[in-house]
Amino acid sequence: MTEHKGEMLSWQIVNGAIELGLHREPCNEIGSAMLEELEQFAGALPELMKGAHALILHSARPAGFCAGADLRELYQRARGMEKAEALRGVRDFLERIHHVMNAIDALPLTTIAAVHGVTFGGGFELALVCDIIIADRMTRFCFPELRLGLIPGFGGIPRLKRDLGNAVVRDLLLTGRGFNVMKAQQIGLVSQIAAEGEALRVARATASQVGKFDRATTAAAKKFVKPIPYEELKQEIDIFCDLYAQPAVEEGLRRFVENEGPQPYLP
Amino acid sequence: MPALDQTLDEVLNLAAAHFKVPREKLAPDDDFFKTLGIDSLQALDLLTRLEHHFRIELPDYELQGVSDFRTLAERIQSRL
């Protein structure tokens, strides 16, 4: 299936690049339905790759690339469940999303995240699986998980550690602060900055450039420079689940979900 | 370093221009969520625009509980 228009995701091949578009309102929160479509996409990749040299991830939502995990769904689903059952559900979700993320990470194509606006939590982690991040000027990145008693759970920490210096990782993770695209480029996270609304166009130009190269050479180079930290990714799931079992997390999620103020509950 | 009044004026000008609100309708002590009619995602957008304008970094946690232009300008001023 080389073309798909789903509830939350669409994909097609444009000039030799697979374009995966996210379009769930309000800002592509990743819950179980989004995960199912991501799994469909991962399943379609072997066929899609036959006609493509690159993959571009982008968002059609004005607010941003992706606001991360659907915390409302996470909280609501766990309510009324025994703790052990809720924990099994969380672990299953994490293992499934890791499977998708790892599949994209390991693709023998050049992968590009074209991001804008809110690129938080799981959305940031989705961008981090790509080889290159191209960000529009108004992009804002953040790992806010510690502010709710958790750590990033979709592979963010091992991939940050792979890509950036440890002092930077500590800063971003332990403060949970958001940062703009200038900072993101300064620390080596963002490859190119695009004007507002132009990230996808710049990503397409980059995809066109890498399409001139021999695919086997690109695949060999990528395999050489981009190891996938499988062991740390597994450890991340374990640590996340240990933390999720703590009472403080449920309370943090409750306050986040039930907050009706103009600012999100993020202490 | 510009004076706080100048920083505040620039904050009000930028907010008015971006969210298409007449500048004269914005006052320093207004609640910007209400006056601009914005949500939390749009407030992050405003923060990013202000960071670019003033060439500063302003962590969002410094704005927890801040909803008026004057305090916002004071937080920016402390980073100039």
> Is A251 a catalytic site residue?
no
* DSSP letters for A60-107: --TTEEE--B-HHHHHHHHTTS-HHHHHHHHHHHHHHHHHHHHHHHT-
Range of the domain at B46: 4-77
Domain tally, chain B: 1
| Residue keyed to tokens 């298409």 | B20
Taking all residues of chain B, what is their mean pLDDT, rounded to a whole number? 93
pLDDT at A1: 61
Looking at chain B, how many residues does it have?
Answer: 80
Residues A251, A150: Cα–Cα separation, whole Å: 12
pLDDT tens digits for range B6-27: 999 999 999 999 999 999 999 9
Has the ipTM of the complex gone over 0.95?
Answer: no
Give yes or no for residue B72 having a pLDDT over 90. yes
Catalytic site residue from A125, A135, A199, A207? A125
| Probe site for chain B from A66, A175, A257, A263 (most B CB atoms < 10 A) | A263
Taking all residues of chain A, what is their mean pLDDT, rounded to a whole number? 94
Q: What are phi and psi of A19, to 5 degrees?
A: -115, 115
Give yes or no for residue A152 having a pLDDT over 80. yes
Residues A53, A185: Cα–Cα separation, whole Å: 25
A136 forms beta bridges with A194
Instruction: Read off the pLDDT band of A35 (50, 70, 90).
Output: very high
Q: pTM for this one? A: 0.94
Give yes or no for residue A189 having a pLDDT over 80. yes
Instruction: Read off the pLDDT band of A264 (50, 70, 90).
Output: confident
Which of A109-113, A157-161, B64-68 shows the lowest per-residue confidence on average (mean pLDDT)?
B64-68
> Is A69 a catalytic site residue?
yes
- The whole-number average pLDDT for the span A180-198 is 97
A121: three-class secondary structure by DSSP = coil
Give exposure, A90-106, as e/b (b: 16+ Cβ within 10 Å).
bbebbebbbebbbbbbe
B10 CB neighbour count, 10 Å cutoff:
16
Q: What is the Cα Rg of chain A in Å?
A: 18
Specify the amino acid at residue A147. R
- Residue A118 forms contact with B (CB below 8 Å): yes
Residues A124, A142: Cα–Cα separation, whole Å: 7
- Test B52 with A137 for CB contact under 8 angstroms: yes
Q: Which residues contact A75 (CB under 8 A, 6 or more apart)?
A: A250, A253, A254, A256, A257
pLDDT at A249: 87
Residues B10, A54: Cα–Cα separation, whole Å: 43
> Is A106 a catalytic site residue?
no
Instruction: Read off the pLDDT band of A2 (50, 70, 90).
Output: confident
Name the minimum distance, in Å, from the CA of B39 to any CA of chain A: 6
Q: What are phi and psi of B43, to 5 degrees?
A: -65, -35
- The CATH number given to whatever domain includes residue B71 is 1.10.1200.10
Cα B30 to Cα A103, A260, B61: the distances in Å are 49, 20, 20
Q: What is the DSSP letter of A149?
A: T
- The whole-number average pLDDT for the span B15-41 is 93
- Residue A262 forms contact with B (CB below 8 Å): yes
pLDDT at A201: 98
- The whole-number average pLDDT for the span A176-181 is 94
Q: What are phi and psi of A18, to 5 degrees?
A: -75, 130
A4-258 maps to CATH 3.30.1490.20: no
- Residue A13 forms contact with B (CB below 8 Å): no
| Probe site for chain A from B30, B39, B40, B53 (most A CB atoms < 10 A) | B40
* Spatial CA neighbour of A226 closest among A102, A115, A140: A102
pLDDT at A39: 97
* Spatial CA neighbour of A137 closest among A178, A177, A191, A180: A180
**What is the SS3 assignment for B5-65?**
HHHHHHHHHHHHHHCCCCHHHCCCCCEHHHHHCCCHHHHHHHHHHHHHHHCCCCCHHHHCC
